[in-house]
Structure 1
């Protein structure tokens, strides 16, 4: 639930708190919670273009992450738009960014490391193409890859059990979005 304040000279300040749960089936909900907030300042430029910077701070299961974010909503003409398309969250905004993703998740009590933590990290590179299906609907197609991927497994005490790199992995996705 983001909250924004209009400031002077076309600037706005936004605070976007979030809470989510990342865990295997039957993992403890209380120990699978990820929460934090994104704080950003954005300047409204000419022709509806917007540029800004932000900072994300998230408690990600026994680890705190702090990272900068560049915010872009630029329309060079009526047909093209360069934008950070997805909302902020525990793994950051998505789209136009220099980003190293890290997602930690709680393991259940039947895993290799009962009650431990798994972590996947890497650099997502992708492109989104959107087709508007009318004023209220849009179809999004995503394609790309995760490079520099790593998997990490920790026991319930936070001790490293195993760390492994993985090869470039493809990303594909389709979403149908309604705007109401």
Structure 2
């Protein structure tokens, strides 16, 4: 079963908020969900003054810490998405935030009308998720009389949700994953 779904969108489009809501729903269903997040700006995951931070700052190329409840690994390199997906293969579902050019089914977050151009840059789109404050819903309603979705390239059909329809989005993801 292909268990990977990407959530793509521009910065501040609501990707992390959506994923957090979905993870809560999936956990309530008894599913183990892994999340892989892409950060093109860099991040600092270790807290200053911890042992792992000190070891990394001393020059360790990789550090790991584990306890009976948690494991964390920090490597001083970018890890390819495929490698991360393989590491998480035992989970019921893997949600990927970002990695726009990867080849997995995508849910695309649209925050404002200008975000629509992102659709033309991506492949594998299976659903659009529009924030109610984006003005996109009004555009869609005003042009829906044309017979096709005005936000998509000619001939492309995908599911469409409002960002607050978490239960429906979760159901859609599970049905899509099972169909693969």
TM-score range, shorter chain: under 0.3
TM-score by length of 1: 0.19
TM-score by length of 2: 0.19
Which of the pair is proportionally richer in strand? 1
Which of the pair is proportionally richer in helix? 2
